Amino acid sequence: MSTSNYLYLKKLLLITAASGILMLVAFLTVPQYLSPALPFVLIFFMSVSLISYYLLQKKAASGTSGFVTGFMSHTVLRMALYLAIILSYAFLNREDAVRFIIGFFILYLIFTIFEVYQFLILTRKSKPAGE
């Protein structure tokens, strides 16, 4: 495993652990506001982030235009997947839909900010000198 992969995995595990600890505290203090499915959503976001990083890392090595195209198509596919998950859960568990959607959105924001920051670091490192 390369150094950049190791650093990304380490940061991803830290952000996941921090989110998990905050979620645990929230479950212990105000469980009525949280969906019981959120721990699974946390694991889902961690997995998607890890897979996304490795796929987009390969695209970044192919050049800026390849990365931008890959990033945009990857983003569209992920948004479609997220929407399908949200809609499926909401239709199957109507009484928990609002709590699930709010929790999903909060985790989405946390992981999206983390990923964009990491992708910026990745693309800056992979730019050849003079670009």
Would 7 be classed as within a structural domain? yes
Is 27 part of a structural domain of the chain? Answer: yes
Which two structure tokens, joined as six digits, stand for 50? 């890890």
Q: For residue 55, what are the domain limits?
A: 3-126
Confidence of residue 71 (pLDDT cuts 50, 70, 90): confident
In-domain check, residue 131: no
Total tally of structural domains belonging to the chain: 1
Confidence of residue 53 (pLDDT cuts 50, 70, 90): confident
* Residue 1's pLDDT band (cuts 50, 70, 90): low
Dihedral of the alpha carbons of 44, 87, 71, 51, in degrees to the nearest 10: 20
Residue 15 lies in a domain: yes
Cβ atoms of residues 70 and 56 within 8 Å: yes
**pTM for this predicted structure:** 0.85
| Per-chain mean pLDDT for the chain | 88
Report yes or no on 17 lying in a domain.
yes
Q: Is residue 20 part of a domain?
A: yes
84-117 confidence digits (pLDDT tens): 999 999 999 999 999 999 999 999 999 999 988 8
